[in-house]
Amino acid sequence: LFFIFYFLFFIFYFLFFLCLLCKQKMSQFIKERITIGIIIFTKNENQLPLFLVGRRTQRKRKETGTWQLPQGGFEIEKDKDLFTAAIREMKEEIGLDSNLLQFICKLDAIEIIDQNNHKKNTFHFFIFYWQNSNLLECKLDNEQEPEFDKIELIDFNSLLLKCATFKIELYQKLSILIQPII
């Protein structure tokens, strides 16, 4: 009886440490990325918000032709902080001068874990108001391979219908967060 008790005790602790080891390895397996998102909005004649979105080029490789908000990765060697990264991404992707915009706020971070490639993406979105909203002020050829081939101002519900399928969860969360602000 004493032997059985120690044997079961040993098995229990072996399984316990095995579980701890598996959890540690899983956390190492999940890659993390910090993404900066830019929400630029204006208001139409009925004072309803319209959002600046871009149509994804072949550079994106995944769901080309769908629409999204400007965004990009935080680059440690280029960006001193998240706001600097937002301004850089705005210039690179849509060529818009941030001096033409009014900064409103930074939203709380949104975490999305992609179960397919085990990647944790933390999104930091910055909201800007664009009073004049002249699309001719944007330049899409700032990069050798542009992210977007076209930009538009659309309402958020239209964005949800036109965006890449892997962006739907993120944009649904965003639509809730921006409602009291915009």
Q: What is the pLDDT of residues 43-96, one digit of tens each?
A: 988 999 999 999 988 875 777 889 999 998 888 778 789 999 999 999 988 998
Top pLDDT among 142 and 71 is at 71
* Alpha carbon distance 14, 93 (integer Å): 52
- Does residue 130 carry a pLDDT above 90? yes
Top pLDDT among 21 and 39 is at 39
Q: With DSSP H G I counted as helix, E B as strand and the rest as coil, what are the percentages for the chain, rounded to 5?
A: 40, 30, 30
Give residue 112's pLDDT.
84
* Alpha carbon distance 105, 131 (integer Å): 16
- Confidence category of residue 19, pLDDT binned at 50, 70, 90: low
Mean pLDDT, the chain, integer:
84
- Does residue 30 carry a pLDDT above 60? no
Cα 164 off chain centre by:
12
3-state secondary structure of 66: coil
Do β-strands 148-154 and 119-129 pair in parallel, antiparallel, or remain unpaired?
unpaired
Contact 34, 111 (CB under 8 A): no
Within 13 A of 174's CA, how many CA atoms are on the CB side? 23
Read off the pLDDT of each residue in 168-181 and give the average, rounded to a whole number.
90
- In Å, what is the CA distance from 133 to each residue of 101, 138, 176? 9, 10, 24
Top pLDDT among 27 and 38 is at 38
* Alpha carbon distance 22, 132 (integer Å): 54
* Alpha carbon distance 74, 109 (integer Å): 13
